[in-house]
Amino acid sequence: MNHLRRSLQLLVLALTSTLAPPLASASSTSPGAPPETATSASAEATPKPASSERNYALYVPPKLEAANQPSPLVVVLHGSNQRGADLVAAWCDLANEQGFLVLGPDSLEPRKWNLQDDGPGFINTVIDAVRAQHPVDSRRIYLFGYSAGGLYALTLGLVESEYFAGIASYAALWKQESDQAALQLLRRKKLPVKLIIGEADALYTREAQRSMEQALRKQRVAVSSTVIEGQGHSYADVSSEINRLAWAYLKDQKLPDEPVYIDYGLDDQSSAAPPAQ
C-alpha cells in the first residue's frame, strides 16, 4: 500500500497543471438545470480540512424507482465553471429511455478537477452513498467527462481500472507526456475507453488524437475514437448526440468480476456520505 500511495503522490505532482484546460474552454454554455426529479445532497467526504461539504446531483428515472432492480450507473464529470447538475440535466432524457442512473459530483474548485481534492476516495464515497439508497449494477459503473471533466475521467478511470466498467470522454485529449502519468497505475487489461472529439475543436489537433490513441493502445487499453465533423469544443449544442455516442459504447461494457476499489490513502474519506434527500 505504501508503494501505491507513493505512486499516486507522484502522479498528483505530474498532473498538477493538466486537469484544467485553457481558459478558452471555460466559455462553453451549460445545457441547463436538471428536472425536478434530479436531486442534490451533501457528501461529507472531506478531501481536506478546509472543506466540510461536497455536493452531487443524482437522477433516477421513475421506471427504475418502481422496478427496484440493479441498474447501470453513469458518473458524469463536468467541464470548467460548471457543476455536476449541468451534465446530469443533459443525460436525463437518455437515462429515461435506456434505464440507468446518472450521478454528477461537483469538483472542489469549479474550474478544474484535482486528483487530491477530488480523488478516488471522494468519488467512491459518493457512489457508495447512491448505492446505499438505490440498487446499482456494480459491474456496470461508468465514467463520462467533458473537457476538464473528460481529462479527469480518463485519469480516474486509469487509476481505478478494476472499479469502472468503461470510460468515455468528450473534448479531452492529452497534450503532453505528463498527462499520461496515470497509465503507470493501470491494472486492468483492455480497459474500454471511448474518445469523442470535434473535428473543429481549436484546443486539440488530430495529431494529438492519434498520439493519445497510440499511448493508450501501447498500455493495453481498448480505445475507440469518434470525430464529429465540423464540431468545435462546445458540449451544450450537441450534448444529445455526444451522450448517445458515449452510451452506445459504454452500455456493452461490463466488469468480468466484482469491482475492486483501490484505496491509495491519498485523501481522507473516512466519513460516510449521507443519502440524497
Flag whether the pTM goes above 0.75.
Answer: yes
- What average pLDDT does this structure show over 170-182? 90
Q: Any residues with CB less than 8 A from the CB of 173 and at least 6 apart, and which? A: 195, 197, 204, 208, 209, 212
Q: Work out the angle at residue 90's Cα, subtended by the Cα atoms of residues 164 and 169, and round it to the nearest 5 degrees.
A: 40
Does the pLDDT at position 192 exceed 90? Answer: yes
Q: Is 225 helix (H, G, I), strand (E, B) or coil?
A: strand
| Sheet bearing 166-170, strands edge to edge | 38-42, 55-59, 101-105, 71-77, 136-146, 166-170, 192-198, 222-228
More confident residue, 221 or 13: 221
14-65 pLDDT, tens digit per residue, is 555 456 654 433 333 333 444 433 444 444 333 333 334 789 999 999 999 8
